A and B are shown apart, each in its own frame.
Chain A
């Protein structure tokens, strides 16, 4: 199944070859999908980065006087210091009286940090494994079989299992999700290496005496970068969804960490009466993931050299 499914995976990512022509950068800046996705993503990154200055209160503080307030409710809020302030709960409060707006803003930090970490880690590790498999025969035989085995296990189950074993923390969640994503990246890199190796320019480089390490560094990697960037955005999106799914299932980050998944998990109990506890963090999550995916789609379209040529 492996050769054909490799080609299916690369077909989804890159309908033709793996190489992008120079000049992609200009097209990139004109692509509306990149602009919109990138723009929304930067917006979310900024609001979570500058959350403390955006009128938030302590996201973990419970005010027993403000339980399950609907969005838009104005009232007074008891701060940890004992002081009461007037506050409009634009996004309501949850079943323990915590301010959803503050929680959602801080939750963005965790999702973004996690998504980017998982993407970076799985690309680096997957790249190493994939390069080794593409170049060393015995590694290809053994390691890629293990990757196939890992890929046969549904990712969420594997992550669920590992996080439960390791005790949930940001690091273990990142590690568990990364482990489920590595095989896919490794397979992509391997198939890219194998196809780029066949290119005549690689043979030409060999015949002018280029060593294998230089060959990988100068000829293979630069031509594999574009699909890897696209793959990284998809890994990032999947990781964010997976993290909140873990929280939703009750094994994610500890409940006192304000993550979007945790807010939703806690909101489930009173969902039929106060759906905003699920919908607001859900909307933030979906929008963030959507912007990452749009960025990825736009990158794929602009970096694919045949895109501009089609129909000529």
Chain B
């Protein structure tokens, strides 16, 4: 119990450290890379206009003061207001949250239920034709860019076969069937690389576990191959598998940006790209921060699942 609490506190502190560093990086990015006021003002702005914006943003104050003000507001959930639409950034993000969340959750769910069994089978039949086929597909999954895959699917499934809508998003409140119909293609597109990653790690972990001595013991006990595979090999592979699911989340959230752009889903990714094109960096900053915080927190959660999967950490 004591070591559990210690593990928890240690991981929490480490996550908080990383969070603070992310916050500092996000804050510094815009300030280290040129004059933010000039960037915001655009190419055709006069010196006076830039000066005015600079004062408006508080940029003439020393960096630590700027950070203090910005961070203080951040703690209150105040992300400032958009340069272009003058709406509250928090509000803009709130409006775009649902589609992104739906897309991400749907993708993770789909990827995990596909990748873990595939990886397990590949690891079990290490070196066999099934393994080689699955691994070739996994390499392919790493190689086909999300947007190329997206367009192939749109062209085939939506345009040629007419089975699914081409793009857009339907809110869950407007009915489950249209909601899911609009999510199938984007989730599938986004999940491919994630599946490739998880399946690879699962395969490596399972095939490593299968040559361990305890698997030989399990076989010597006369256990069925199924039991050996699930209760012994897979159970001992849980830590690397959940770890890669956590690591892959960063990859996934990056993919969300592109996928939303392909399927014209007005989520956070779409919001970010539009904001970048509008040079509305406060919005971009806020979304990057949100995504990174999500990644850190999810990885913290993953760390805590080690307590379930590995008793050596618990005791």
Contact = CB atoms under 8 A, between A and B. Distances in A.
Interface of A: 1-2, 4-5, 7-9, 11-12, 15, 145-146, 148-158, 160-162, 164-166, 237, 241, 244-245, 248-251, 264, 271-272, 275, 278-279, 282-283, 285-286, 289-290, 292-294, 297, 310-311
Q: Main secondary structure on chain B at its contact with chain A?
A: helix
B247 interface: yes
A165 B288 contact: no
A12 B204 contact: yes
B140 A290 contact: yes
A249 B258 CA distance: 7
A309 B144 CA distance: 32
Contacts of A293: 139, 142-143
Contacts of B276: 160-161, 164, 249, 251
B308 interface: no
B143 A237 contact: yes
Contacts of A244: 145, 147
23 contacts: A1-B243, A1-B246, A4-B240, A11-B201, A145-B21, A152-B18, A153-B26, A154-B250, A154-B295, A155-B251, A155-B254, A156-B255, A165-B39, A275-B155, A278-B151, A279-B148, A279-B155, A282-B147, A282-B151, A285-B145, A289-B142, A289-B143, A292-B143
B187 interface: no
Q: Which of B11, B18, B127, B135 has the most CB of A within 10 A?
A: B18
A154 B291 contact: yes
Closest 5 CB pairs of A and B: A149-B21, A154-B254, A282-B148, A290-B143, A156-B254
Contacts of A250: 273, 277
B21 A12 contact: no
B163 to A, nearest CB: 16
Given A157-B291, A248-B258, A286 B200 contact: no
A161 B29 contact: yes
Interface of B: 11, 14-15, 17-18, 21-22, 24-26, 29-30, 33-34, 39, 126-127, 135, 139-140, 142-148, 151-152, 154-155, 159, 200-201, 204-205, 207-208, 211, 239-240, 243-244, 246-247, 250-251, 253-255, 257-258, 261, 272-273, 276-277, 279, 281, 284, 287-288, 291-292, 295-296, 299-300, 302-303, 306
B151 A275 contact: yes
B123 to A, nearest CB: 11
B145 A164 contact: no
Contacts of B284: 160-161, 164
B136 to A, nearest CB: 9
Contacts of B127: 310-311
Nearest to A158: B288
A166 B276 CA distance: 12
Contacts of A7: 240
Given A153-B292, A278-B151, A165 B201 contact: no
A160 B18 contact: no
B302 A1 contact: yes
B254 A157 contact: yes
B251 A279 contact: no
A164 B39 CA distance: 9
B84 to A, nearest CB: 14
Q: Which of B145, B159, B201 has the most CB of A within 10 A?
A: B145
